[in-house]
Amino acid sequence: MRFSGAEDRWRQGLGTLRDVVRQTLVTRQLAEHLPATPCRILDVGSGQGTQALRMAARGHHVTALDASGDLLGLLETGIQPGMRVRTVRAEAERLGELFEPGGFDAVLCHGVLMYFDDPDPFLADLARMLAPGGLLSLLVRNGDALAMRPGLLGDWEGALRAFGGTDYVNRLGVPARADRLGELAGRLAVHGLEVRQWYGVRVFSDTFPDDAPIPENLDDLLAAEERAGRTDPYRGVSALIHLICSAS
């Protein structure tokens, strides 16, 4: 996986306005599909654990896997009494050897698939982790709107390149790969996963500068982003897409 070497820049982005928008929307969208009763959740590439901790606070049993000991350390500082969270330090590629098939009711994989040149073996591993009827929450870069960010920033050469492919260099300076919704749905179907719902994430706020302050009207911003992320045609031009998939 190609994320190695970008951890410092990732940490610098924690708590920024773009991060707040992303994490809040993903939490709200995911919560609609998880059962109210406690379930077993695996968070693959959990990073600092924003989603893992939020799911644990809702009573779920969470296993958080990440290759970074420092990021897992941040996660562990957020574990409150009564939360059931286990951390595992390992590369995402090792899923198949670390966990028994069918051991989780839900698997979260947010911002990870983009670092795999060939996503299919990894998608197969994610599918194998799910119990029958389990749920996969997958957050990826939106390949159908890859030209939007450079275009809105006035990078016309970058926008023109983006029309023709799915490879790009992200804000962390790491080469990455976007996914087009139709193609990704087909890949998921091969592994017994059906897209139940999908959302756009960061329709309006993707081009905010790194140092953009948290506005006083944050609730209005989030409400507008949430509405756009559920509504066509807006969700189709979002920076990220969040897929909720069910296992057969």
Q: Which amino acid is at 34?
A: L
How far is residue 177's CA from residue 116's CA, in Å, rounded to a whole number? 7
Give the pLDDT of residue 6: 78
Give the pLDDT of residue 3: 57
| DSSP H or E run through 107 | strand 104-110
Give the pLDDT of residue 59: 97
Give the pLDDT of residue 45: 97
| Residue 134: other Cβ atoms inside 10 A | 23
Give the pLDDT of residue 2: 55
Residue written as token pair 């947010």: 110
Give the pLDDT of residue 7: 81
How far is residue 161's CA from residue 133's CA, in Å, rounded to a whole number? 40
- Whole-structure pTM value: 0.95
| Residue 52: other Cβ atoms inside 10 A | 29
Give the pLDDT of residue 10: 82
Q: Which residues of the chain have pLDDT under 70?
A: 1-5
Give the pLDDT of residue 1: 57
Give the pLDDT of residue 5: 61
Angle 154-198-112 from CA coordinates, rounded to 5°: 70
Give the pLDDT of residue 127: 98
Give the pLDDT of residue 28: 97
The CATH number of the domain covering residues in 7-142+168-247: 3.40.50.150
